[in-house]
Chain A
Amino acid sequence: MEAQNTQLLVLDSSIRNWVLLPIVLFMFLFGILRHYATIALRTTRKNDKAKLEQAQTLARAQTVRTNANWIPHEAFLERKAFFNQPETGVLNKKIPANTLASMADPNNMVDMMKTNFATIVPNIVMWGWVSYFFSGFVIAKFPFPLTGRFRGMVQRGIELNSLDVSYVTSASMYFLILFGLRGLFSLVLGEANAADDAQLMQQQMMGPAAAMAGPGVDMGKLFEAERDNLELVTHESKLKEAETTLLNSSQ
């Protein structure tokens, strides 16, 4: 029924050999290059010893607080004293105020810029390459029909209203390849291949405590809050009724 609209358009095989396949190959290889460039540029961030110590102390206090009911009452009081005792408590230590904001830390800036470069620059380069050399002619045909709405998007630079919309130019192929290649990259490069994934993994390995202790977080305030929380815990040991629970369940 669409036969009248769909005129058979045959493209020169040179377009396939010198445009379509090179674009796919180039973008594929560029993606792999980006993957390895990201790995090469990645720096293992050095942790500040004092900061890490504070973060671990905080995490420990939180663990004690959330699991308080699993230890006997005396044990809990001992731990609370360790953290909260005036003067000597670990959480009462004076922490020099963190005046450095996150932007002032040069390491952070460099890392951010590297990540941005690794993701944005390749896209700009490829997009420029594709649109500079291969715009203005049809390079492919989608095997599915599109409505006329898409004409301005997929046939940019071709002012032919009679041409079937499923014939597309290099710009729309670029986006299809860009999104479609992700699946292939996950097959070829393995897990966590994109730059942001790698970042995420790094953060996971460092642990939430270390991530929390990033610059710009005022540990003094956090310590104070944790001290209050610990003070407010109503301790009720679950071990007290352990024997009765056991005996009841075995009956």
Chain B
Amino acid sequence: MLGEQPQASSDNVYAQDKIAHNENIIYKCRAFGAVVFGILAGVFGLTSLWGLLVYVISSIVISIFLFATLPKLSIDGLFTSWMSILTGGFVQGAMTYVLVWTLAYDIVYIFF
């Protein structure tokens, strides 16, 4: 994982661009999950807290899948901490989720 511009700290050396790339992939997974589960929540007509619950569940599901795809179930050489898998892109994904959820819900239930 030693990139061309390693940033030296005391004993760990990280290639920041590679780490950023990996975190971007997590964000993409989250955004994709937000779209899929947002459509689901909207079509099933979930409102208020139920919709929020579905987003949290989708986030957990995606985290589990990400854990499962990690080689040897360890973050060595991929991320700096476990939290980036658990919570990476949570807030940005929430915006996408709310948008898709609102759109799907409105299209199905509000108009006639």
Contact = CB atoms under 8 A, between A and B. Distances in A.
How would you classify the secondary structure of chain B's contact residues: helix, strand, loop or mixed? helix
B51 A144 contact: yes
B107 A183 contact: no
Contact of B96 (A10, A20, A183): A183
A12 B111 contact: yes
B111 to A, nearest CB: 4
Interface in B47-71: 47-49, 51-52
B50 to A, nearest CB: 9
B51 A143 contact: yes
A140 B106 contact: yes
Given A10-B111, A12-B111, A140-B106, A180 B99 contact: yes
Contacts of B98: 176, 180
How would you classify the secondary structure of chain A's contact residues: helix, strand, loop or mixed? helix
Contacts of B112: 10-13
A191 B99 contact: no
B32 A143 contact: no
A183 B48 contact: no
B48 A180 contact: no
Contact of B102 (A12, A143, A208): A143
A24 B65 CA distance: 30
In the A-B complex, the 8 residue pairs with the closest CB atoms: A180-B99, A183-B96, A183-B31, A13-B111, A143-B105, A16-B111, A179-B95, A144-B48
